[in-house]
Structure 1
């Protein structure tokens, strides 16, 4: 059994005590098991569908930058409190990275579903250099960065699929 699998989850009351914890745990979605990262990514998708259509590209870009920066701080703080570098319940990194993917993905259910699958595949499989970043880059930036790289992989595949006319 891996060290990640043996990690204990804090109680919901602990998670909801303070905005940093609540954000890092994806508004509580990080407490869902199994596959906390997938639950956080699903919540991110629901939030995106509800909120993004009303926002301009500039507003979304600013939101993503702020969400990433705040995530670096919140994830580092919560990881330090839990004494686990990248606790499986910390899902804000998946949420922000998937919002980046959705921002650059066609606004169709089929495209977003494929993007979801690709992002989860790359986030879980961690092909190089994602695995390297996950293991070597520490702190809140490290928690956030490997998911941004997984998002870049998903976006590369999505760009090829879109270019091939799959969603035309």
Structure 2
């Protein structure tokens, strides 16, 4: 069961770029969660998937030399959902269809992948921990950076440019 969760039911076995596949599936799941219960459901699910993912990653990598094998993508789900929380909140608060805010969903996805791949600062620190918590935390931090970046882009678009 832990390997099914850690690989997001096999998505982590898709090639090339399993992390990108995991993030793409996470975006679709986030949209589904938003439609089912809005921002509150996505926020609760983000917290739950972090803790479930931490457990599943620890179980799946127990005794393995590689603490972060590429097929484990539950961490991408947690981070990607965090990256999209601001967009989900905006749609929920305004009472609009979240697809009307598609630039935010795209920005959240792209920025999350950028930060997850390049691992600047604290993201890289978390990744270097070498344990299941580090596997999850680097994506949490990448998600936070991506959410902040998406917010800045929204502010520029709507506040500065008036679009």
Same fold (TM over 0.5): yes
1:28 and 2:10 correspond: yes
Cα deviation per residue 1:12-39 (whole Å; 9 max; x = unaligned)?
A: xxxxxx2x11110012110011110000
2:33 counterpart of 1:40: no
1:130 deviation in Å? 1.1
Aligned residue-pair number: 149
Give the aligned partner of residue 154 of structure 1: 146
SS of the residue 1:165 aligns to: helix
In structure 1, what is the Cα distance between the partners aligned to 2:29 and 2:52? 18
Aligned partner of 1:87 among 38, 56, 69? 69
Aligned runs of 1:122-141 on 2, under 5 Å? 122-136=115-129, 138-141=130-133
Equivalent runs, 1:54-93 vs 2, <5 Å:
54-80=36-62, 82-93=64-75
- Show structure 1 runs of 4+ deviating over 6 A: none
The answer for unaligned runs of 5 or more in structure 2 is 91-97
**Once the 2 structures are TM-superposed, how far is the Cα of residue 62 of structure 1 from its aligned partner?**
2.2
Question: TM-score scaled by structure 2?
Answer: 0.83
- In 2: Cα distance, 1:103 partner to 1:153 partner: 12
What is the deviation of 1:81?
5.5
Q: Is the 8 A contact 2:83 2:145 kept in 1?
A: no
Deviations 1:37-66 (A, max 9, x none): 000001111112223222143333222211
SS in 2 for 1:33: coil
